[in-house]
Structure 1
Amino acid sequence: MSFVYLTSFGDVEKRILLACAYNIRNVFGLEVRLSSVPYPPRLGFDPVRGQYRAGAILSYLRSLDFPELVRLLALVSYDLYEEGLNFVFGEAELGGRNAVVSLFRLKHPAEETFFLRIFKEVNHELGHTFGLRHCPDPECVMSFSNSLIEVDRKSERFCRTCAVRLSSALEPYR
């Protein structure tokens, strides 16, 4: 059996991890294992920006290994950025095994909205790990989001085209 391992860095509530695990099982049809991994203090932190570089977290994830690992997803409470961008909601290795999603900018007073935003970004970044690129359909979860307005506008689901591509990419794990 193959697993998506889900870990967290920073202050991420266990109920968020459990909800994400449930979402991943439902959307991707893969089993999920929660894993506790220590994050090296301030690795990738830029004190001028007050943010962590997402690529540094992905590099750290590459150094980790788990039994029957298919994908490794880290949820972080940190604000993330990449060079040339003010911030990122998450980042993933296209066709690779690692992804990171930041909860920092997804927060909302309505818990349902907060969780839905998290699920959208988790599905989006895991979609990248299965080879999906950004989609031109603004309602598809694989559409690029540069603001919360764009996150809220899109669905947590894949459009028909992306769903077919994802199904094909998931075939070896079923």
Structure 2
Amino acid sequence: MGYIYLVSFGDVEDRLLLADAGNIKEIFELEVRVATVKADISVAYNPERGQYHAGSILKYLSGIVYPNMVRLIALVGFDLYEEGLNFVFGEAQYGGKYAVVSTYRLRHPDEKVFFERTFKETNHELGHTFGLKHCEDPYCVMSFSNSIYEVDRKSRDFCPKCRRKLDYVLSYYR
């Protein structure tokens, strides 16, 4: 049996990490292991932008391997960007093992809203690691989010078409 590892660095609350682990287990039906890692990601920081380069963090994460690891996703508390974009909520290796989600722009005074946003972006980025592309259904968790409004609009679940594709890939790990 394999595990999805959920790690954090950069000021992510344990309560959010544990709640997201429950979300992952429910949606992906795989066991989840949680860890906090000490990471020197200073090379990913761009002082001109005041943000961290998501691709550089993914490269760093790809050096982390755990026993029976199916996927590894990191929650980080700082702002991320990718070349050509003002910011990203997260990034993943398409069809790969690694993903990162930033909670920085997902924050909300209502903790329930904040947690739900984090679950959506976690599920979205993990979906990419399992080979799912962006979906045209605006309520599917795989729809592209370029604003917090679009994050709030979508569900944390996969539409039937994306769910079928995901279940097919997940069947290899269950």
- Determine helix, strand or coil for the equivalent of 2:122: helix
TM-score by length of structure 2 reads 0.98
Amino acid at match of 2:71: R
> Which residue of structure 1 lines up, in the alignment, with residue 133 of structure 2?
133
- Determine helix, strand or coil for the equivalent of 1:43: helix
* In the alignment, structure 1 residue 76 sits paired with structure 2 residue 76: yes
TM-score by length of structure 1 reads 0.98
- Determine helix, strand or coil for the equivalent of 1:144: coil
> Structure 2 unaligned runs (5+)?
none
* Per-residue Cα deviation, 1:112-162 (whole angstroms, up to 9, x for no partner): 110110000000000000000000000100000000000001111100100
Return the offset for 1:49: 0.1
* In the alignment, structure 1 residue 4 sits paired with structure 2 residue 34: no
Amino acid at match of 1:166: L
* Per-residue Cα deviation, 1:51-82 (whole angstroms, up to 9, x for no partner): 00000110001111110000000000010000
- Determine helix, strand or coil for the equivalent of 2:7: strand
- Determine helix, strand or coil for the equivalent of 2:141: coil
How many angstroms apart in 1 are the aligned matches of 2:67 and 2:58? 19
Amino acid at match of 1:35: A
- Determine helix, strand or coil for the equivalent of 2:171: helix
> Which residue of structure 2 lines up, in the alignment, with residue 48 of structure 1?
48
Tell me if the contact between 2:41 and 2:57 (Cα under 8 Å) persists in the aligned partners. Answer: no
| Paired positions, count | 174
Return the offset for 1:35: 1.9
> Which residue of structure 2 lines up, in the alignment, with residue 108 of structure 1?
108
* In the alignment, structure 1 residue 124 sits paired with structure 2 residue 116: no
How many angstroms apart in 2 are the aligned matches of 1:90 and 1:113? 18
Moved over 4 A (4+): none
> Structure 1 unaligned runs (5+)?
none
Amino acid at match of 1:14: D
- Determine helix, strand or coil for the equivalent of 1:35: strand
Cα 1:70–1:137 change in 2 (3 A) is same
- Determine helix, strand or coil for the equivalent of 2:42: coil
Amino acid at match of 1:3: Y
Percent identity, aligned pairs only, is: 61
Return the offset for 1:42: 1.5
> Which residue of structure 1 lines up, in the alignment, with residue 18 of structure 2?
18
How many angstroms apart in 1 are the aligned matches of 2:57 and 2:79? 12
How many angstroms apart in 1 are the aligned matches of 2:126 and 2:36? 19
Return the offset for 1:41: 4.6
Return the offset for 1:36: 2.6
How many angstroms apart in 2 are the aligned matches of 1:57 and 1:112? 27
- Determine helix, strand or coil for the equivalent of 2:61: helix
Return the offset for 1:27: 0.2
